[in-house]
Chains A and B, each alone.
Chain A
């Protein structure tokens, strides 16, 4: 199998849709190109089609007729998962409870009839790479969650898969462990240079791991882009809300200014009569009422240690969230001005 020796395989989905037997449409036709060695994160709330997309790439689900899955130049659409040479990591770890750690990692090599001496060497390498050598002879039920996921990763990469597919691998872990393992997975993906598809509903995880993020919603791709693109240039209100906190202002445009309750901002970039703009909480600051074109009232203040989160009311249609590192005392009920960094205001499609 010469294709095994490729450093990294690109993935292409062509018009892959998925309709389940009961008629529900899990995925609208999706086209997706993933370059060799790239890490792409499929991000979205539950039921958005991200897992279905991953399973179509894996070969666990067949796309509706017309859809095609390509690994490099090979059309793998008709191949079941066992013939696709993919590595898979599951949220539930899915380690074989009747085998030791070593046997788990060796399993893929065993079913491929890799000779025993070579198998032992490769398993040793994998255990060393994941820092779990001392666990080699443990049973699975003697491992912690983090150790289990390390074993699952070692098992998936031991067979040198063409692509690595990770389905919410960190969701079952507690927060601090998740953070640590996230860094480890990130380093691992970079050092292997393997093409990886990573499914998560956690935007922080997506930002940290993805070269590109595919934000999905109700079976449709909402946006594809780098983490920065997605954060600062969300394609629509859904993406803006899903990735971090965002503030939205909807108003009327006249004489080069967008007006809404509480004030206005200069706006030359559009001709529409009515439009919605957004900005992030850290891209605005609280100033004296006289120093700003927007005035509001402090509804609530949350001191978060390194920064303070302030909720303003009487601006636009809803509460406005501002985060600041300033140490000033913010008094609930006082009238203040709001100054937004003009470079960080973006027009978005206001439909959610």
Chain B
């Protein structure tokens, strides 16, 4: 590259640099500062780990997101590989239905969970009819899990289908010719080949679950996930410093998850996002 090209390149990069600065770096910096502007100063960040309510909220959010991620990856891997390998009438419709939740805001998904598992929900009616006992789980961790799983599956399944399509059938045939059983083929050929896609889409699912608000807002009556806690601190308690500190912690954990998965799986995460 010639030196004379630098001014032109800087000029070309200017719009991106301005947007990045104005809408990303500056707000982030401000948020970090606000987090430290409370009466506790920058130890506000540490207080999250000392305040039981905040810490429990953090732990339950991470656990919920991790559980949703694992479930979504397992369900999507099985379904995705099946859908990629089999052609049957209605396959296209099924695939578009599976990806449907992408179009819903979190509130609608929360509403769907209430209709499934709320007091007048389908699950309760069936349970009452069959066993006479009540089955209401919409407002518990199980309800959140159901809702989060519902919107996580499409994000994972599309990536896995794309990866499954690229699987060389000769690899499986070679393994079988060498005497590998079905399970050994899955363990030694299919899963290693899908690994980057599983990690990448799992990271996306985790990040989405960590930050999901609408579903939690609709459902959460007695559970506090981190975005809900932030909302409460911010709007109800007007506790800006705590809200900002919690936001930064939430963001850092999510970013860390993406970063780690990215270094394991290569650069596919960004592409999948």
Contact = CB atoms under 8 A, between A and B. Distances in A.
A159 B178 contact: yes
A80 B176 contact: yes
B178 A155 contact: yes
B193 A82 contact: no
Contact of A98 (B181, B184, B192): B192
Contact of A111 (B168, B173, B184, B195): B184
Given A81-B173, A88-B173, A107-B175, A94 B181 contact: no
A108 B179 contact: yes
Interface in A82-109: 82-83, 85-88, 90-92, 94-99, 107-108
A111 B171 contact: no
Interface string A150-161: 001001100100
Nearest to A103: B188
A96 B191 CA distance: 12
Contact of B179 (A58, A91, A99, A112): A112
Contacts of B181: 82, 111
A96 B177 contact: no
Nearest to A82: B176
Interface residues of A, number: 28
B180 interface: yes
A90 B178 contact: no
A90 B173 contact: yes
Contact of A96 (B175, B176, B179): B175
A82 B180 contact: yes
A304 B175 CA distance: 46
A194 to B, nearest CB: 14
A86 B188 contact: no
B174 A94 contact: yes
Given A92-B170, A94-B170, A58 B189 contact: no
A87 B177 contact: yes
Q: Which of B170, B178, B192 has the most CB of A within 10 A?
A: B178
A156 B177 CA distance: 8
A82 B173 contact: no
Interface in B139-196: 168, 170-171, 173-181, 184, 188-189, 192-193, 195
Contacts of B192: 96-98
Report, as a range, how many residues of chain B touch the other chain. Answer: 10 to 19
Say whether chain B's binding surface is mostly helix, strand, loop, or mixed.
helix
B169 to A, nearest CB: 9
Nearest to B178: A108
Contacts of B189: 96
A176 B171 CA distance: 27
B38 to A, nearest CB: 50
B170 A90 contact: yes
Interface string A20-61: 000000000000000000000000000000000000001010
A107 B173 contact: no
B187 to A, nearest CB: 10
A82 B179 contact: yes
Contacts of A80: 176
A133 to B, nearest CB: 21
A107 B180 CA distance: 9
Contacts of B176: 60, 80-82
A58 B177 contact: yes
A82 B180 CA distance: 6
A97 B191 CA distance: 12
A87 B174 CA distance: 8
A136 to B, nearest CB: 18
A91 B170 CA distance: 9
A159 B174 contact: no
A88 B180 contact: no
Given A85-B179, A94-B170, A97-B193, 5 more contacts: A58-B177, A80-B176, A98-B193, A107-B175, A111-B181
Interface of B: 168, 170-171, 173-181, 184, 188-189, 192-193, 195
29 contacts: A60-B173, A81-B173, A82-B176, A82-B177, A82-B180, A88-B174, A90-B170, A90-B173, A92-B170, A94-B168, A94-B171, A95-B174, A96-B189, A96-B192, A97-B193, A98-B188, A98-B193, A99-B188, A107-B175, A107-B178, A108-B178, A111-B184, A112-B179, A155-B174, A155-B178, A156-B177, A156-B178, A159-B179, A165-B177
Interface of A: 58, 60, 80-83, 85-88, 90-92, 94-99, 107-108, 111-112, 152, 155-156, 159, 165
